[in-house]
Structure 1
Amino acid sequence: MKVQGKMFLWLAFFVLAMAIVYGVWSKEPAGTTALFLGFGLCVMIGYYLAFTARRVDVGAQDNKEADVADDAGEVGFFSPHSWQPLSLAIGGALAFMGVVFGWWLLYFSVPIIMIGLWGWVFEYYRGENQNQ
């Protein structure tokens, strides 16, 4: 994880330099703002990875003498497939269409969003994924 943190922090400095150069030469505010926001995102991700690397064990990617097999084994817990994001996407699409066609579409989209959100939050409290 140390390598990834350093990589994002170096990328952040590169993006900052490019934002300054782009802003001075182009005098175009939208692209300059996007590059400065990209710099901020790189700093946040790099800081998180560097901070997390101090709290976890040394991984095989941090050892220059490690083989590929050294990183084998259980990686972590990953959620199984879920239908709830589809419900949230349909409800969100209807809500955004409500801005275009009429606010009355929110009467249909809000219940769909609430059902999807409820299902996603309580996904592990019922059904086959229930924790024992």
Structure 2
Amino acid sequence: MKIQGKMFMWLSVFLLVMAIVYGVWSKEPAGTTALFLSFGLAIMVGFYLGFTARRVDVGAQDNKEADVADDAGEVGFFSPHSWQPLSLAVGGALAFLSIAIGWWLLFFSAPLILVGLFGWVFEYYHGESRTQ
């Protein structure tokens, strides 16, 4: 994970230089602001990955002599099927459409977003375990 942190830190340096150069040459505030915000995002992700890399074990990607098979194994749990992202997508699309059509459309999109978010968070929750 150390290499990802370093990559994002180098990306943040590049974005800072490009934001300054773009801002001086173009004098266009929207693009300059977007580049500075991208710099901020890249440095936040870089610091997070660097901080996390110090607390976890060394991965195969940090070993220069590692093989591809060294990184094999279980990565995590990924849901095989879920309808909750569809509800969130439709609710989000309606919410953004409400900006163009009218704010009244938010009354229809908010319940879809809340149902999708609540369902996704508690999809695999089956209550408290009663083992003693």
User: Shorter-chain TM-score: which interval?
Assistant: 0.7 to 0.9
Say how many residue pairs are matched: 129
1:10 is matched with which residue? 10
Write 1 or 2 for the structure with the bigger share of helix: 1
2:45 is matched with which residue? 45
1:28 is matched with which residue? 28
- Distance change in 2, residues 1:35/1:118 (3 Å): same
Structure-1 separation of matches of 2:35 and 2:60: 33
Structure-2 separation of matches of 1:131 and 1:59: 34
- Which whole-Å deviations, capped at 9, do the CAs of 1:43-85 have from their partners, x for residues lacking one? 0111111111101111111111111111111222333331111
2:110 is matched with which residue? 110
Q: CA deviation at 1:23?
A: 0.8
- Distance change in 2, residues 1:98/1:2 (3 Å): closer
- Distance change in 2, residues 1:24/1:76 (3 Å): same
- Distance change in 2, residues 1:48/1:79 (3 Å): farther
Deviates more, 1:62-71 or 1:108-117: 108-117
Deviates more, 1:5-14 or 1:95-104: 95-104
Structure-2 separation of matches of 1:6 and 1:99: 39
- Is contact 1:9-1:43 (8 Å) kept? yes
Report the 3-state secondary structure (helix = DSSP H, G, I; strand = E; otherwise coil) of the residue aligned with 2:18. helix
- Distance change in 2, residues 1:69/1:131 (3 Å): farther
Alignment root-mean-square deviation, CA: 2.1
Q: CA deviation at 1:112?
A: 2.3
Q: CA deviation at 1:131?
A: 9.3
Report the 3-state secondary structure (helix = DSSP H, G, I; strand = E; otherwise coil) of the residue aligned with 1:76. coil
TM-score (norm 1): 0.84
TM-score (norm 2): 0.84
Structure-2 separation of matches of 1:63 and 1:35: 33
Which consecutive unaligned segments of at least 5 residues does structure 1 have?
none
Structure-2 separation of matches of 1:100 and 1:124: 36
Structure-2 separation of matches of 1:69 and 1:95: 45
